[in-house]
């Protein structure tokens, strides 16, 4: 039986939600990852350092006894986030980035930015202090085809922003296209990108396999096979500009299996195992450790984890559903099917 031992990984893009939902999903992440960048798209969003401090404390309080996990907090960028809050955030020591959601682009993004020009003074402060901007990179213009929204956002927003703020630290989150990869490669070491396991493993056919598959619907939406191959090539390239961010995004089963279903795939239950599958399929298991455990902390200026974890090549069946609050359920990616690698206890 083959095994793979690597430095304990971190997740650089994670949705933990809040309250009972958070308590339901947090152990899946904490079992695998030492740290995670926690997304601020709660209702209401986490827009102040004080709100982030309270959210961080709720996460730590929800952690089961005996588990260690460090939540790395983020602030939600709005048109009204003042430059002074960036100074407070940087000084806090627990806020590691600011998240840009174009208003209306994705789940809980209503309070997001309507026009990035309104944030110029705040972005200037982030550039000066080296606090990264994490980006959901999709235009919301309904005239743009849903499959072209990442490329359009890069051209319309990101390239101009980096022209104005060339040293801004910027992470294009959950890259789904060759255009996204090219954008990261075309800029300096201040620009990086995260890749999800589901975008490495699935192309858009997975949303329509034998019928409509709401559990494969996320944003940015899955793209065609040529784009998936570009993401895999970047992930296994050994280029430290690309690192792991699951974008595990839990939604209740009833909210996914609906006439207007929510966007988001839940992957924390197999958060490192799914990446092992993708890297193995590409013949590059030896590149997993850099991607999952080294390049993220290096980018964020944090130390690499010391502890190690072992993955075993042994298939296991993902449960059909996990428990979720309000007598609902959570349907994880691969529900009822197998994952080829498992984490050694
Ligand atoms: N990825 C998703 O499809 N959904 C995320 C939001 C996001 O990361 O865009 C969520 O919060 O549910
Ligand atoms: Zn997003
Ligand atoms: Zn996300």
Q: What number is the ipTM of this complex? A: 0.99
pLDDT of 177: 99
| CA 226, chain centre distance (Å) | 22
Q: What is the pTM of this model?
A: 0.98
pLDDT of 105: 86
3-state secondary structure of 79: coil
| Cα-based distances in Å from 193 to 124, 188, 234, 313 | 21, 12, 10, 28
Residue 11, marked binder: no
Each residue of 155-172: pLDDT tens digit? 999 999 999 999 999 999
DSSP code, position 102: B
CA 88 – CA 220 distance, rounded (Å): 31
Each residue of 59-109: pLDDT tens digit? 999 999 999 999 999 999 999 999 999 999 999 999 999 999 999 988 888
Asked if 293 contacts 306 with a C-beta cutoff of 8 angstroms, the reply is: no
Asked if 245 contacts 37 with a C-beta cutoff of 8 angstroms, the reply is: yes
Contact 249 CB / ligand 1 (< 6 Å): yes
Residue 204, marked binder: no
Asked if 167 contacts 127 with a C-beta cutoff of 8 angstroms, the reply is: yes
Active-site residue, selected from the candidate residues 247, 298, 326, 328: 247
End-to-end CA distance of the chain: 16
Residue 115, marked binder: no
Q: Which two tokens stand for residue 176?
A: 């789904």
Ligand 1, residue 108: give the atom nearest the CA.
Answer: 11
Contact 263 CB / ligand 1 (< 6 Å): yes
So what's the architecture of 3-343 in CATH? Answer: Alpha-Beta Barrel (3.20)
Per-residue pLDDT of the chain (345 residues; tens, 9 = 90+): 799 999 999 999 999 999 999 999 999 999 999 999 999 999 999 999 999 999 999 999 999 999 999 999 999 999 999 999 999 999 999 999 999 999 998 888 888 999 999 999 999 999 999 999 999 999 999 999 999 999 999 999 999 999 999 999 999 999 999 999 999 999 999 999 999 999 999 999 999 999 999 999 999 999 999 999 999 999 999 999 999 999 999 999 999 999 999 999 999 999 999 999 999 999 999 999 999 999 999 999 999 999 999 999 999 999 999 999 999 999 999 999 999 999 998
Contact 194 CB / ligand 1 (< 6 Å): no
Residue 180 exposed, middle or buried by CB count within 10 Å (0-12, 13-18, 19+)? buried
Contact 196 CB / ligand 1 (< 6 Å): no
Is residue 148 part of the annotated active site? The answer reads: no
User: How far is ligand 3, taken at its centre, from the CA of residue 67, in Å?
Assistant: 24
Half-sphere exposure of 177 (CA within 13 A, CB side): 18
């Amino acid at each position: 039986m083959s095994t793979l031992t690597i430095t304990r990984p971190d997740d650089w893009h994670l949705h933990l939600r809040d309250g009972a939902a958070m308590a339901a999903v947090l152990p899946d992440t904490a079992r695998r990852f030492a740290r995670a960048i926690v997304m601020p798209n709660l209702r209401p969003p986490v827009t102040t350092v004080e709100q982030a401090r309270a959210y961080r404390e709720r996460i730590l309080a929800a952690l089961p006894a005996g588990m260690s996990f460090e939540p790395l907090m983020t602030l939600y960028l709005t048109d009204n986030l003042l430059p002074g809050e960036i100074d407070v955030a940087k000084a806090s020591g627990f806020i590691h980035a600011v998240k840009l959601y174009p208003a209306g682009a994705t789940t809980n993004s209503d309070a997001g930015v309507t026009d990035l020009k309104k944030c110029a003074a705040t972005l200037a402060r982030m550039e000066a202090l080296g606090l990264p901007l994490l980006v959901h990179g999709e235009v919301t213009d309904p005239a743009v085809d849903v499959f072209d929204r990442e490329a359009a956002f890069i051209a319309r927003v990101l390239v101009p922003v980096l022209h104005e703020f060339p040293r801004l630290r910027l992470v294009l989150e959950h890259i789904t296209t060759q255009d996204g990869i090219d954008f990261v490669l075309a800029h300096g070491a201040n620009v990086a990108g995260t890749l999800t396991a589901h975008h490495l493993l699935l192309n858009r056919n997975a949303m329509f396999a034998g019928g409509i598959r709401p559990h494969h619907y996320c944003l940015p939406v899955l793209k065609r096979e040529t784009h998936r191959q570009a993401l895999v090539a970047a992930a296994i390239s050994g280029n430290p500009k690309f690192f792991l961010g699951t974008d595990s995004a839990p939604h209740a089963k009833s909210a996914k299996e609906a006439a207007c279903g929510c966007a988001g795939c839940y992957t924390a239950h197999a958060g490192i195992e799914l990446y092992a599958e993708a890297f193995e399929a590409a013949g590059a298991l030896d590149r997993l450790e850099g991607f999952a455990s080294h390049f993220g902390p290096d980018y964020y200026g944090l130390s690499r984890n010391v502890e190690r974890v072992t993955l075993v090549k042994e298939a296991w069946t993902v449960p059909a559903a996990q428990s979720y609050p309000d007598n609902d359920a959570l349907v994880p990616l691969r529900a009822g099917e197998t994952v080829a690698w498992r984490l050694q206890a």
